[in-house]
Copies of this chain bind each other. A is one copy, B any other.
Amino acid sequence: MALVVQKYGGSSVANAERVKRVAERIVEAKKNGDDVVVVVSAMGDTTDELLDQASQITADPPGRELDMLLTAGERISMALLAIAISTHGYEARSFTGSQAGVITTSSHGKARIIDVTPGRLRDALDDGSIVIVAGFQGVSQDTKDVTTLGRGGSDTTAVAVAAALRADVCEIYTDVDGVFTADPRIVPNAKRLETITYEEMLELAASGAKVLMLRCVEYARRYGIPVHVRSSYSQLPGTIVAGSMEDLTVEQAIITGVAHDRSEGKITVSGVPDRPGEAAQIFRVLADAEVNIDMIVQNVSTEAKLTDISFTLPVSDGPTAIAALERVKHTVGYTGVSFDQHIGKVSLVGAGMRSHPGVSAKFFGALADAGVNLELISTSEIRISVVCRDTDVDLAVRAVHDAFDLGSDAAEAVVYGGTGR
């Protein structure tokens, strides 16, 4: 008998019909003799609808109350799911983040899980119940207030609950059939990966692959919880995220896949005096404003001892970053700031590239042959990323995917629409 944690996203429980179908799937696992814990997101558009209600009152709601509002979403979906399970003659008990012992920081809207104390979940499992836990939410350690983890937090809840209960596996049900060598909507013959290491998945997630959130993979890696990514609409085998790069055999593929990201923008600060500490001052003020910086490039200095600094960041952080930079314009003494929202990022990820020279050459060759102009480049041990025009992203992804021969013979992926949460 295994202990299985299953996570269903908002699109999997978007309406009564889907809730019933998910309930059947859960009951099936229970019938197989497993103990089942289910983590569920808010139904479909509920979160957006609640945000809309708040925005009818003010554009700037207090974080504590916004979290109180948003957590109504999972409360509804988890109760309906428990009700649907009950129609099969099985008992299901739903628990809020607070009841489930999901202890977080007090940073409303983007709290981080500190610990999970699953006493009530364990008791319910011992009673033979199927356990349902609200994703995306917790209770702050300091203030005992309700918190949310931010979008995508339900995946992290699932892995954290799995770790606390020492579950055998954490199954993430989503609207794709697993992790692919590229987005099947761009590359029709993209291949499903049977397994992928935590490190590779981390790089893919950081590079824009939406199938799993970065924090969730980090958590799974830290506690060694195998994560099984599967479709909630099919019985296909999906992808297992587990194991470390050190365990990889030489037969393993060199390249894992190609990821892309259209959610970032690029800010260029021009005419920055080329003195020690200027760049530090710029990134200090951005950090204080809680802006998440991704890639950074500093150009070589001009004859006038001035330089340009470019960096990428989530488009939504753009206005905050610009405002923060304006505040230090005179102390830094730069001449201008520009914000470019029309960039895209394309990344190649693969644990094998560490020991295989020539990967970079082939990657840049493929992009050059496709006529893609590169604006920024950054690399890690197992990843190469470039920034290009957003209109070139599809072209670049296909060119790289073809160059490394990552596709399968037949189109395998079915895209169900939506990107999950």
**Which A residues are within 8 Å of any B CB, using their own CB?**
16, 19-20, 50, 53-54, 56-58, 61-62, 64-66, 68-69, 71-73, 75-76, 78-80, 82-84, 86-87, 91-94, 99, 120, 144
Starting from the known contacts A58-B84, A65-B86, 9 additional A-B residue pairs (CB-CB under 8 Å) come to A16-B53, A16-B56, A58-B87, A65-B79, A65-B83, A65-B93, A69-B80, A71-B75, A99-B144
With A92-B65, A94-B65 as contacts: A83 and B57 at CB distance below 8 Å: yes
Flag if A57 contacts B80 (CB, 8 Å). yes
Asked whether B61 lies within 8 Å of A68 as measured between CB atoms, the reply is no
Which of A62, A65, A86 has the most C-beta atoms of chain B within 10 angstroms of its own C-beta?
A65
Number of copies: 2
Q: List 26 A-B contacts (CB under 8 A).
A: A16-B56, A16-B57, A19-B57, A53-B76, A53-B80, A57-B83, A57-B84, A58-B83, A58-B84, A61-B86, A62-B83, A62-B91, A65-B79, A65-B82, A65-B92, A65-B93, A65-B94, A66-B79, A66-B83, A68-B79, A68-B94, A69-B80, A71-B75, A72-B72, A75-B75, A99-B144
The dominant DSSP class at the A interface is: helix
Shortest distance from the beta carbon of A254 to any chain B beta carbon, whole Å: 49
**How many whole Å from A300's CB to the nearest CB in chain B?**
49
CB distance from A210 to the nearest CB of B (A): 27
A72 touches B75 (CB 8 A): yes
Partner of A75, one of B56, B69, B80, B144: B69
- Once bound together, how far apart are the Cα atoms of A91 and B61, in whole Å? 11
A62: which of B56, B72, B73, B82 is its contact (CB, 8 Å)?
B82
Alpha-carbon distance A72/B70, docked complex (angstroms): 10
